[in-house]
Amino acid sequence: MNAERHLADAGINGQTGGVHPLIDVQSLVRELRGDVVLLDVRWRLGGPPGIEAYRRGHLPGAVFIDLDRDLAGPPGPDGRHPLPERQAFQDAMRRAGVRDDGLVVVYDDADSTSAARAWWTLRYFGHQRVRVLDGGYHAWIEAGRPVTTEASKVTPGDFTAHPGGLPVLDPDGAAALAKAGVLLDARAPERYRGEVEPIDPVAGHIPGAVSAPTTGNVGVDGRFLPAYLLRERFAELGATDAVDVGAYCGSGVTAAHEILALTVAGVPAALYVGSWSNWVADGTRPVETGDQGLA
C-alpha cells in the first residue's frame, strides 16, 4: 500500500462490515442461540501448543485453529508469520465450519493477542461478520459459563476467501508511512529501543516509527479499554482518523491486536504483516535505536 492512499477508503470506522469487532460473554450467550462458529485461537510464542489448552477445556462447540499453520504461511524472507495463501486459508476455515454469511466469534486465553490475528485475517480475506470475545476464555470462565473437553462436531463451511478486505503495508509502504503518517510499533518498549531482541537477528525499530505497546490497549483483566480511552491513547501518539496510520510488530501478530484496538477507537489503519522479521530479513534496510518515538 502506498502512503498516499488515505486509509479511510478501507471503510473502517470502529465497526467492520456493520459488525462491532468485540463481543462480551453475555452477548455471545445470546448469539449462540443462532448460527455462530466459535474458533479457539489460543497460542503462545514458543509454546506450549494451543491445542493442549483446547483439549483441557474449551467453549462448547468451539473448533481449534492453529495460528502458525492456519493463520500464516511458512516462515521465510516475508516474515515469521506471513499471510497464508488464499486457498490454504479458505480450506482451513471451511474445515472449521466457517460460512460466508455466518457469524464467527474468535477467542484466546484473555488479551486477544492471537484472537486478533484470526479476526484480522478473516477480515482481510473478506469475511464481514467476525467478532472477538473480549477477555477470552478467562472471561467465559469468570462468568460461570460451561466448558467441555469433547471435540466439536463440524459441518464443513462454504467460506470463499477474497484477499484485500483490509489494507496492508509492504516494507516500502511502511517506510513511507513512518515519514508521512504514523507507524506504530506494537512491541515492548525495550525491543523498540533496541536494548533486547529475543527473536529476530537485529534489534531496533523502523526509522520514524512510534512506540505503542499492545499492553496499553487492555486492562489487567485482558479486556480492551473503552473506545474513548483508546482514542485518547492513540491521539497522544499522533494516530487519529485525520492521518494515515499503520502498525507493525515482530511478525504481524501483536500488530493485528493494535489494528483491532485502533478499529475499536475508530481509527483506520494498515497492517505491515511481515513486520520487523521481514524488515531485517535482507540486511539492507535502515534500523533505528533509542527512544525517539517513545511517548
Q: Assign residue 126 a region: left if phi > 0, alpha if psi is -120 to 50, beta otherwise?
A: left
DSSP sequence for the chain:
--TTS-GGGG--SSSBTTB-SEE-HHHHHHHTTSSEEEEE----TT-S-HHHHHHH-B-TT-EE--HHHHSS---BTTBSSPPPPHHHHHHHHHHTT--TTSEEEEE-SSS-HHHHHHHHHHHHTT-S-EEEETTHHHHHHHTT---B-SPPP---------S-SS-B--HHHHHHHHHHSEEEE-S-HHHHHTS--SSSSS-SB-TT-EE--GGGGB-TTSPBPPHHHHHHHHHHTT--TTS-EEEE-SSSSHHHHHHHHHHHHT---EE-SSHHHHHTTTS-S--B-SSTT--
Single out the catalytic residue among 110, 249, 255, 269.
249
What does the CA dihedral 275, 211, 187, 115 come to, rounded to 10 degrees?
-80
Question: What's phi and psi for 52, nearest 5 deg?
Answer: -65, -45
Residue 275 is a catalytic residue: no
Question: What's phi and psi for 173, nearest 5 deg?
Answer: -65, -40
Active site residue ranges: 249
